[in-house]
Chain A
Amino acid sequence: MDVTITGLTKAFKGNTALNAVDLEFGGGMIGLLGPNGAGKTTLMRLLTGILRPSSGRITVGGHDLGNRAGRASVKRMLGYLPQHLDLYPDLSAREFLDYIGLLKGVDDKRARRAQVDALLGQVSLADSAKQRLGGFSGGMKRRVGIAQALMGDPRLVVVDEPTASLDPEERMRFRSLLASLGGQRTVVLSTHMLDDVAQTCSRAAVLAAGRVVYDGSTPGLTAFAEGRTYRIDTGGPQPAGDFSIANAAATGDGMRYRVITDTPPPKAVPVSATLEDGYVALMRDARAAREEAADGGR
């Protein structure tokens, strides 16, 4: 399923959430990274047809989301898990999935039941199938959420911040579930958690202030921090200088900082870069570019 986004802009009452975004991807999983407010959720909503773009174009499998017929066609092949999803508390997991299956146009009762059973097994909720959703934990609800996104065997699955509110064990469980989704499908995973993308997506796109600042392989992000990552040990206080802190950890007798900079302070020790360092370096560069552009505009 090829998705092509061209010159996509979305503004809300004068605030530009997305600014001339160009992105193209095909089958498999793509991770959409970025800080809060970068425009990820707006892009997800545009991609699912919930919002209409201010300008630009999105085509999914050749169908243009800008017109009614295109949106109708895309909806038939779409699975979506919103960032926050309150489920009907009075329905059981099985009933909820069956209901969603009906709304997705899975007419045949037997086929729907088979799909519901298979998905409940896939998300490890077969034993809780008859339990009301109102009694489910946050992690269980999230798993029902992903199961409903997969009802109707969609070719495009859009998942927005799926692990945001999960405890570490549920998060790991959910990640392995996400990793199994790719294959024939196109899966767009929006998150601000690097680990989610690192463990599930071979490709990543990074948004910052409504623009795509990186589009490439996930490991490729590391390159942004290579030769610019340093370790600084202090007695406690944060060191001063022109750098971005990628990590800080207590060492017992002080603090160890991991920083990204082009002008390392004295006593800074170069270390090999990680994916997290690469992301911080990218954000730092994007911020600097924006400031430079703003200064140039004055």
Chain B
Amino acid sequence: MKGIAVAAAVVRYEARMAARSRAVWIGMVPVSLLGAVFGFATLTGQESARLNAGAMAETLLVIVPIGVAAVLADRLRRSRTTGLGELLDTMPLNGAACTVGALGGALAVALAPVLALVAVLGAVIAVRTGDPVAPVWALLAFLLVVLPACVWTAALAALLGLALSVTLARFLVIPLWYWAVYWNYTLWWVPTPVGTVLVPSGEYPAQAWFGTTPVWAGYGQLDWLSPAPAGAATGLANLACVLLGTALMVGCARLMRKR
């Protein structure tokens, strides 16, 4: 069986386990409800559906990625419980595909209530702007803005969960997220990747494909890492960097699981 097929099988079982885990729902339902409050607040209905969808997705990033991170911090650690890690180490198909599948399956379940929320918000945008394509814009905003950020934080949290205790990882990922994405270094200078293409703040893709006005993108501490948002090119560059960062974290997690 090829790696993709193994990953798909692992995704299926990990998703099943996550769906049956009360902790996932206890974590994600309140986060989605809070996201609904934030999301509704941003919908003015006065601009285009595309702009509304982008703004809505950016607003969801304030809360959703840290909810996802908190819920998934234990996902890779749990397969290292007594004996299970040892057992999985003896499996012929326990490669990188399994690590990706373990995280992907649980992430799919954790994002299900968020996706439902996006669908509702898309419908609301459609009603307010009169644009029947609004749900499609909302879905695209979810895929290009919300999803990369959630994948990135899920990988970060899972990696921290392997290196530290899961509880500590859950707490640590919150300041890390705000430091990486929202830290106002002009008020209090500390080194931060805020405003660079490295972090999944969603600003580059939101500007590129939804026409929002970035706040920090392009104003990072290192000019060469902070190109001015200029449409699809910088949007894709940001997504590529986020994907690469995620792959690095998953790679590190894989190495730690093998230890």
Q: Which residue numbers of A lie inside 8 Å of B, CB to CB? A: 45, 48-50, 72, 75-76, 78, 80-88, 90-91, 95, 99-100, 102-105, 107, 132, 148
* B92 pairs with A50, CB closer than 8 A: no
A91-B13 CB under 8 A given contacts A75-B91, A75-B92: yes
Q: Which B residues between 84 and 103 are near A, CB-CB below 8 angstroms?
A: 84, 86-94, 98
Question: How close is A219's CB to chain B, nearest CB, in angstroms?
Answer: 32
Q: How far is the CA of A45 from the CA of B87 in the complex (A)?
A: 10
Question: How close is A64's CB to chain B, nearest CB, in angstroms?
Answer: 16
Question: How close is A234's CB to chain B, nearest CB, in angstroms?
Answer: 43
**Known contacts A75-B90, A104-B92, then 19 further A-B pairs from the complex at CB < 8 Å, ordered by chain A residue:** A48-B89, A49-B90, A76-B92, A82-B83, A83-B83, A84-B83, A86-B82, A88-B84, A91-B16, A99-B13, A102-B1, A102-B9, A103-B6, A103-B91, A103-B98, A104-B91, A105-B1, A105-B93, A132-B20
Residues on B with beta carbons closer than 8 Å to the beta carbon of A86: 81-84
Q: How far is the CA of A74 from the CA of B149 in the complex (A)?
A: 40
Residues on B with beta carbons closer than 8 Å to the beta carbon of A75: 90-92
Select B94's contact among A80, A95, A103, A132, beta carbons within 8 Å: A103
Residues on A with beta carbons closer than 8 Å to the beta carbon of B243: none
B1-14 vs A, Cβ < 8 Å mask (1 yes, 0 no): 10001100110010
Question: How close is B11's CB to chain A, nearest CB, in angstroms?
Answer: 11
Residues on A with beta carbons closer than 8 Å to the beta carbon of B94: 103
Select A90's contact among B5, B17, B84, beta carbons within 8 Å: B17
Q: Which residue numbers of B lie inside 8 Å of A, CB to CB? A: 1, 5-6, 9-10, 13, 16-17, 20-21, 78, 81-84, 86-94, 98
Q: How far is the CA of A86 from the CA of B21 in the complex (A)?
A: 16
Select A102's contact among B6, B21, B81, B83, beta carbons within 8 Å: B6
Residues on A with beta carbons closer than 8 Å to the beta carbon of B93: 102-105
Residues on A with beta carbons closer than 8 Å to the beta carbon of B87: 80-82, 85, 148
Q: How far is the CA of A72 from the CA of B9 in the complex (A)?
A: 20
* B20 pairs with A90, CB closer than 8 A: yes
Q: How far is the CA of A137 from the CA of B121 in the complex (A)?
A: 46
Residues on B with beta carbons closer than 8 Å to the beta carbon of A80: 86-87, 90
A95-B92 CB under 8 A given contacts A82-B87, A86-B82, A102-B6: no
* A45 pairs with B86, CB closer than 8 A: yes
Residues on B with beta carbons closer than 8 Å to the beta carbon of A48: 86, 89-90
* B83 pairs with A85, CB closer than 8 A: yes
* B90 pairs with A78, CB closer than 8 A: yes
* B21 pairs with A82, CB closer than 8 A: no
* A85 pairs with B20, CB closer than 8 A: no
- List, sorted by A's number, 22 A–B pairs whose CB atoms are closer than 8 Å: A50-B86, A75-B92, A78-B90, A80-B87, A81-B87, A82-B86, A82-B87, A85-B84, A86-B82, A86-B83, A86-B84, A88-B17, A88-B78, A95-B16, A99-B9, A102-B13, A102-B93, A103-B93, A103-B94, A104-B91, A105-B93, A107-B1
Select B88's contact among A84, A91, A103, A105, beta carbons within 8 Å: A103
Question: How close is A129's CB to chain B, nearest CB, in angstroms?
Answer: 15
Question: How close is B169's CB to chain A, nearest CB, in angstroms?
Answer: 20
Residues on A with beta carbons closer than 8 Å to the beta carbon of B83: 82-86
* A103 pairs with B92, CB closer than 8 A: yes
User: Taking each of A80, A84, A87, A90, which has the highest tally of chain B beta carbons within 10 Å of its own beta carbon?
Assistant: A90
Residues on A with beta carbons closer than 8 Å to the beta carbon of B98: 103
* A85 pairs with B82, CB closer than 8 A: yes
Residues on B with beta carbons closer than 8 Å to the beta carbon of A85: 82-84, 87
* A105 pairs with B13, CB closer than 8 A: no
| Minimum CB distance partner of A91 in chain B | B17
Q: How far is the CA of A88 from the CA of B74 in the complex (A)?
A: 13
Q: How far is the CA of A78 from the CA of B83 in the complex (A)?
A: 16
Residues on A with beta carbons closer than 8 Å to the beta carbon of B10: 102-103
Residues on A with beta carbons closer than 8 Å to the beta carbon of B90: 48-50, 75, 78, 80
Residues on A with beta carbons closer than 8 Å to the beta carbon of B81: 86
Q: How far is the CA of A78 from the CA of B87 in the complex (A)?
A: 11
Q: How far is the CA of A192 from the CA of B88 in the complex (A)?
A: 25
A50-B91 CB under 8 A given contacts A85-B83, A90-B20, A103-B98: no
| Minimum CB distance partner of A152 in chain B | B92
| Minimum CB distance partner of A80 in chain B | B90
| Minimum CB distance partner of A73 in chain B | B92
Q: How far is the CA of A48 from the CA of B87 in the complex (A)?
A: 9
Question: How close is B258's CB to chain A, nearest CB, in angstroms?
Answer: 10
Q: How far is the CA of A107 from the CA of B13 in the complex (A)?
A: 15
Q: How far is the CA of A104 from the CA of B93 in the complex (A)?
A: 6
Q: How far is the CA of A60 from the CA of B208 in the complex (A)?
A: 57
Question: How close is B140's CB to chain A, nearest CB, in angstroms?
Answer: 33
Select B82's contact among A84, A88, A90, beta carbons within 8 Å: A84
Q: How far is the CA of A72 from the CA of B91 in the complex (A)?
A: 9
Q: How far is the CA of A215 from the CA of B86 in the complex (A)?
A: 27
In the A-B complex, the 3 residue pairs with the closest CB atoms: A85-B83, A82-B83, A103-B91
